Amino acid sequence: MPGSSQMITAMDDSRQDEVLRQRVGKVHLQQRLGIEQDYERRVFGQGRNFFHIENWYSVHSVIRNGLRLFLLHGRGRRNARDIRVCRNDVYLPDLPETFAGYSILQISDMHLDMAPDFPHALIAAVRGVDYDLCVITGDFRANTFGPWEPAVDGMRQVRVQLRGDVYGILGNHDTIRMVPALEAMDIRMLLNEQVVIRRGDDAIYLAGIDDPHYYRADNLEKAADPIPEEAVSILLTHSPEIYRHAAHADFDLLLCGHTHGGQICLPGGLPVMCNARCPRAFCRGAWQYEGLQGYTSAGSGSCVVDVRLNCPPEITLHRLYPATTNKASR
């Protein structure tokens, strides 16, 4: 007979699943939880990439010890806490004049349970930054399986420092079971959904999709279909890998992360690995594909090893401005 703690855990999971079922629907929940159970630890063969170093835990210590051998580990850990504020101006056709100068703070790939002092470094970075809206583009936790509560506890510390509306999406390190706890702290998670952002009588649309990289739980059609054709639309996705789909779905701006900009790079910022099936130019910073503008954050945190070399962590302040052309003339 199971112990009382096991029975309580089972009851908690049952209640949580009912909340999630009402939140995202029966099919999405069954698919996401089923894929998590089947593939969350897999190193080879799932998702868009064949190889997933984040799930090969025995290699993590090899990398860590190698960095120590070459006296790079301590410096890399200090770098990982030196979070910079990057700025990116975006000129969008058809953006209403009332949104001129509208600012979006993007935080990505926090991996909040990677180190106990990391939330404090992130809090120090966001404190004093002025913005209209905050978005979190996935990867709240470091591990891809196991307990997720420490990451949520870290997010709770950070959320106190974030003003106003905050929207988020799930990444390849995140379980859908985190969603009720994140939304309880007033982070609206977009799970193949969209919302209207209003300023006066004008509006733009913000859409977000579930992880397209590993769990492949994204449904771009569901997120995009309700958006009026003439409206300016912004897509939050964890990975840049769906850039073609987003461009042909007529999104104007795509904000993502996942790649960490390489995290451990050669001098000059040349990444050793980006862990994404897309052009290297799309793995960090601003880019464009046809009519779609994009920005891939280098991420605020770190994973595999708690180190950054030649690739500073960042939070990004995007500022929107109307362009001189309109969508019809593109």
Model confidence band, residue 52 (pLDDT cutoffs 50, 70, 90): very low
Tally of CB atoms within 10 A around 171: 29
CA atoms within 13 A on the CB side of 117: 7
Q: Is the pLDDT of residue 44 over 90?
A: no
CA-nearest of 142, 149, 206, 137 to 182 is 149
Work out the average pLDDT over 39-47: 52
Q: Is the pLDDT of residue 105 over 70?
A: yes
Q: What is the pLDDT of residue 166?
A: 98
What is the token pair recorded at 160?
């106190």
pTM of the model: 0.87
Buried b (16+ CB within 10 A) or exposed e, 208-235: bbbbbbbbebbbbebbbeebeeebbbbb
Share of the chain above pLDDT 70, in %: 86
What is the token pair recorded at 156?
């709770």
The Cα–Cα gap between 45 and 57 comes to 16
pLDDT digits (tens, 9 = 90+) for 159-213: 999 999 999 999 999 999 999 999 999 999 999 999 999 999 999 999 999 998 8
Number of residues written out for the chain? 330
What is the token pair recorded at 150?
């420490």
- Sequence spans of domains, the chain: 41-329
Work out the average pLDDT over 305-311: 90
Of residues 265 and 94, the one with the higher pLDDT is 94
What is the token pair recorded at 119?
């939330």
The Cα–Cα gap between 232 and 65 comes to 48
Q: What is the pLDDT of residue 38?
A: 75
Model confidence band, residue 53 (pLDDT cutoffs 50, 70, 90): low
Averaged pLDDT of the chain: 87
Work out the average pLDDT over 55-76: 71
The Cα–Cα gap between 213 and 199 comes to 33
Work out the average pLDDT over 92-105: 96
Q: Which residues pair with 91 in a beta bridge?
A: 321
Domain 41-329, CATH number (from 3.40.50.300, 3.60.21.10, 3.40.718.10, 3.40.50.1970): 3.60.21.10
* Proportion of the chain in helix, strand, coil states, percent, rounded to 5: 35, 20, 45
pLDDT digits (tens, 9 = 90+) for 227-270: 999 999 999 999 999 999 999 999 999 999 999 988 888 898 88
Cβ(285)–Cβ(318) below 8 Å: no
The Cα–Cα gap between 193 and 209 comes to 7
- Torsion angles phi and psi, residue 293, rounded to 5: -95, 145
What single letter denotes the amino acid at residue 203?
A: A
pLDDT digits (tens, 9 = 90+) for 131-169: 999 999 999 999 888 899 999 999 999 999 999 999 999
Model confidence band, residue 41 (pLDDT cutoffs 50, 70, 90): low
